[in-house]
Amino acid sequence: MDKQHKKVLSYFRFRRILIPIVLGLSVATFLFIRSFDRDAFIGISWVGQSYFFIFMALMMMVVRDVGYMYRLRVLTDGQISWRRSFDVIMLWEFASAITPSIIGGSAIALYIVNKEGVSMGRTTAIVLITAFLDELFYILMVPLMIIIVGTQYLFTTEGEYVFLNTRFGTQGIFLIGYLFILVLTTIIIYGVFVNPRGTKLILLTIFKIPFLRKWRLKAAETGNEIIITSKEMKGKPFIFWIKAFAGTFFSWTGRFLVVNFLIMAFVSGGDQFLIFARQLVMWVILLISPTPGGSGVAEFVFSGFLGEFIPAGLTPALGLLWRTISYYPYLFIGAIILPHWLKRVYGKKQIPEIKNDEDIPEKPV
């Protein structure tokens, strides 16, 4: 068993799976007990409409995953089959669910896609482009939702967040997050489609600054990834990008509509565009969560951002139902798929990786 194999397996230890489950359920239980309202539960009217919208919430999870699978097939030019795309996406989501949101599962995704027989150069490009497409969806959707719902009711007044030793409200941290995503996406666009080597040089120059110097090697690696991605993706036809973004659009729209349908299952009426827009703000908060998969944090922000659309006594229970549908299944499905996937990819001859030695510094810069 090689070192890379052992390192990846270390991410999937039982303890790593147990931590987010315990965190999430503990916070959900605390919130449930604190705001339990017996009358609210007795008042729930289970009619056909309730079951229909819960079913639609489940269907949105299917849309989310099929969208991701379709995007992966587009980005690999069909090299990975639908069946294997399912394994890759489930393991990718599994990795994201057991690592802190601020880290994500990209490092493990590189390993997973590469083991499916995709060259390391293309794998690097695929992982970077998926991040780019996710951020592009966010960048485009935020102004659209602001046009539709305005800003008067978009931000909640609850909660303070510390960034750079400064306290910010919801609106402040959202603006910082949005600007960061905008700058990062601009760098990727310029680097991949305009001047990859120039982008690497700019990154290395910026990280000469004394307090950034310790991350200079990481900046060099990022520059290499941009160069590799440019080689793999530059010159792709316009329809290729339309298809890849379509998969992204359906995936993220499905992800957010899960909450809309769950609320509609128990509450009639409500501004569905505002609920959707609030989730865009929530996403920035969850993006900087230090807990695995946002466990514990997600349950709190759900109540803070969406509680006003739900009867008070039902909010924690609905938040737990949301996580039960959209988060916990990946922990169990991933744990089931992982051993079979490892047996499959290690039971065949490994395909040689394409190396990009000219883009990788021989020693730390």
Sequence spans of domains, the chain:
3-179+236-350
Q: Which two tokens stand for residue 57?
A: 């919430």
**In the chain, which residue ranges form alpha helices assigned H by DSSP?**
3-11, 14-34, 38-42, 48-75, 82-97, 106-115, 120-149, 170-193, 196-206, 216-233, 238-266, 272-287, 297-306, 315-326, 328-345
Banded pLDDT at 355 (limits 50, 70, 90) = very low
pTM summary value: 0.84
pLDDT one-digit tens code per residue, 111-162: 889 889 888 889 999 999 999 999 999 999 999 999 999 888 888 655 555 5
pLDDT one-digit tens code per residue, 47-106: 678 899 999 999 999 999 999 999 999 999 999 999 999 999 999 988 888 877 655 567
- pLDDT, mean of residues 343-364: 51
Query: Which candidate, 128, 104, 350, places its Cα nearest to that of 224?
Result: 128
- At 361 the pLDDT is 42
pLDDT one-digit tens code per residue, 254-291: 999 999 999 998 887 778 999 999 999 888 888 877 77
> Of 225 and 313, which is predicted with more confidence?
225
Is 363's pLDDT higher than 60? no
- At 173 the pLDDT is 81
